[in-house]
């Protein structure tokens, strides 16, 4: 104990000389992080010679993200991302972050989300209406491209607001592929030491090419918006904010919205369709609910079962397995002292499998949210969109997207997994779908 009465954070077991816990983490991220939870509320993990303080207790996570958030900055994980997507909301700190958040906040007010929801319903219907009976769909890629198609009309409502000359379908496919490569590359970079992460391997070159391609897209979109300003899109709101926003700042925010709004939403939707394909009764229930709600924007009030279903997907298939902060000063968190400059990380993916709050945690059960609604859970227990002053600004938009897509799919199609295809288990190394090939057949009137 030090003179404040705070204890030293215990070192996690299983580390190796020089490597620390790097090999265990590389072999299976979710499994390894889940195992750290037995070590206490906070444990020290070493990746090579670098220490990370892993928050396991919900109370400790709430302290860092909410109660004492001013004592922490974004940290190393975001430092690794910043060179590729810029200094947008996801990576910025301090007064600049507050300024940018205020500039973007009007774009995500509830009344504007309601307006977006009408467009989202139309786009989702059009996209899933093009599916064909018997054709095998790589649903991970399909949902990523659909997430791009949903976002484009809200970013720039003009016919070709992107300024690229490409159709929406062409742009969605290209952006979806580049985003997938970018996110996978960033995840590798957060685990590997910089010297290894920056080796000029074919994968690294592909990663850099995709990052550059996305930057060019953002720059073209900003130039187009400057030439022909729209007054309804998110990009126009950024450019016309009273504080002003430079072209570079607008590019950074646009890339941030694409990375945060496409990859995570697309992955979550792919897992949702995977779960529906395995449970036809749940799909029928969702179909009946969407039919009863009628056409138009999908809302949680109109689709309560679908909403619980999405909550369960976000719990069990959380796409962000690792998030972090950096201590700006020595901070006491719970009964431990976190030193100044320390990297602090937490895993919502493993937190959401805590049997103390989620009985039989690996069972997919949307109705568990009837027995224990989200608001009744202890603080820091369920964090699909983070918490505190850096909580995802687009959570309402993401909900509108996911409800629109699930209503469109379940009113039109039955989903069928591809026979013999093995999807990696929830607790395996990657918490993301493995292409998820499936086919569809039309629904008939019930």
pLDDT digits (tens, 9 = 90+) for 318-341: 877 778 899 999 999 999 999 999
Confidence of residue 367 (pLDDT cuts 50, 70, 90): very high
User: In 3-state terms, what secondary structure has residue 430?
Assistant: coil
Whole-angstrom distance, CA of residue 45 vs CA of residue 190 = 14
- Where do the structural domains in the chain lie, given as residue ranges? 22-442
Residue 428: predicted pLDDT: 41
Q: Tell me the average pLDDT of the chain.
A: 85
pTM, rounded to two decimals: 0.88
Q: Tell me the mean pLDDT in the region 299-322.
A: 91
Q: What is the mean pLDDT of the segment spanning 2-10?
A: 72
Instruction: Provide the pLDDT for residue 5.
Output: 64
Residue 166 to residue 172: CA distance in whole angstroms? 9
Q: Pick from 34-48, 147-161, 236-250, 398-412 the range whose average pLDDT is largest.
A: 398-412
Residue with more model confidence, 18 or 382: 382
Identify the CATH homologous superfamily for domain 22-442: Cytochrome P450 (1.10.630.10)
Which band of pLDDT confidence, cut at 50, 70 and 90, is reported for residue 446?
low
Q: What is the pLDDT averaged over residues 379-395? A: 91
Residues facing residue 413 across a β-bridge: 442
Q: Given a cut of 70, is residue 352 above it in pLDDT?
A: yes
What is the C-alpha separation between 38 and 22, in angstroms, rounded? 18
**In whole angstroms, what is the distance from residue 407 CA to residue 43 CA?**
43
Lowest mean pLDDT among 60-74, 178-192, 255-269: 178-192
Q: Who wins on pLDDT, 382 or 167?
A: 382
Q: Which of 102, 59, 75 is nearest to 354 (CA)?
A: 59
Residue 305: band (very low, low, confident or very high) from pLDDT cuts 50, 70, 90: very high
Among 27-31, 41-45, 284-288, 427-431, name the one with the lowest average pLDDT: 427-431
* Selection from 209, 232, 68 nearest residue 155 by Cα: 232
- Burial-class residue 446 by CB neighbours within 10 Å (0-12, 13-18, 19+): exposed
Tokens representing 126 are 């059009």
């Amino acid at each position: 104990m030090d003179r404040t009465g705070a204890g030293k954070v215990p070192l996690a077991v299983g580390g190796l000389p020089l490597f620390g816990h790097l090999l265990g983490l590389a072999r299976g991220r979710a499994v390894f992080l889940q195992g750290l939870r037995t070590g206490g509320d906070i444990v020290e993990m070493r990746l090579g010679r670098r220490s990370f303080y892993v928050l396991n207790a919900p109370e400790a996570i709430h302290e860092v993200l909410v109660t004492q958030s001013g004592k922490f900055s974004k940290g190393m994980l975001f430092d690794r991302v910043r060179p590729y997507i810029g200094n947008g909301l996801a990576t910025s700190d301090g007064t600049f972050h507050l300024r940018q958040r205020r500039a973007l906040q009007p774009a995500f007010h509830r009344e504007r989300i309601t307006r977006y929801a009408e467009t989202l319903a139309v786009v989702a219907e059009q996209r899933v209406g093009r599916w064909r009976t018997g054709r095998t769909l790589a649903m991970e890629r399909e949902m990523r491209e659909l997430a791009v198609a949903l976002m484009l009309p809200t970013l720039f409502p003009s016919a070709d607001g992107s300024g690229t000359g490409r159709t929406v379908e062409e742009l969605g496919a290209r952006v979806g592929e580049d985003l997938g490569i970018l996110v996978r590359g960033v995840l590798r970079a957060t685990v590997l030491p910089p010297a290894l992460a920056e080796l000029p391997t074919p994968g690294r070159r592909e990663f850099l090419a995709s990052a550059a391609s996305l930057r060019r897209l953002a720059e073209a979109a900003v130039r187009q918006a400057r030439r022909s300003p729209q007054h309804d899109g998110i990009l126009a709101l950024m450019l016309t904010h009273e504080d002003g926003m430079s072209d570079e700042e607008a590019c950074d925010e646009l890339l941030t919205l694409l990375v945060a709004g496409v990859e995570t939403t697309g992955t979550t939707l792919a897992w949702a369709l995977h779960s529906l394909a395995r449970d036809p009764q749940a799909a029928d229930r969702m179909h009946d609910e969407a039919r009863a709600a009628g056409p138009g924007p999908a809302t949680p009030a109109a689709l309560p079962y679908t909403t619980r279903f999405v909550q369960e997907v976000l719990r069990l298939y959380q796409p962000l397995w690792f998030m972090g902060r950096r201590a700006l000063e020595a901070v006491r968190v719970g009964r431990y002292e976190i030193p100044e400059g320390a990297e602090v990380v937490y895993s919502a993916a493993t937190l959401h499998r805590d049997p103390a709050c989620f009985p039989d945690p690996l069972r997919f059960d949307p109705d568990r949210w009837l027995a224990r609604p989200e608001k009744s859970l202890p603080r820091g227990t369920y964090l699909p969109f983070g918490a505190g002053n850096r909580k995802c600004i687009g959570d309402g938009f993401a909900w509108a997207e996911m409800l629109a897509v699930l209503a469109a799919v379940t009113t039109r199609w039955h989903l069928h997994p591809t026979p013999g295809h093995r999807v990696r288990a929830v607790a395996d190394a990657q918490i993301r779908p493995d292409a998820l090939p499936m086919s569809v057949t039309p629904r008939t009137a019930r």
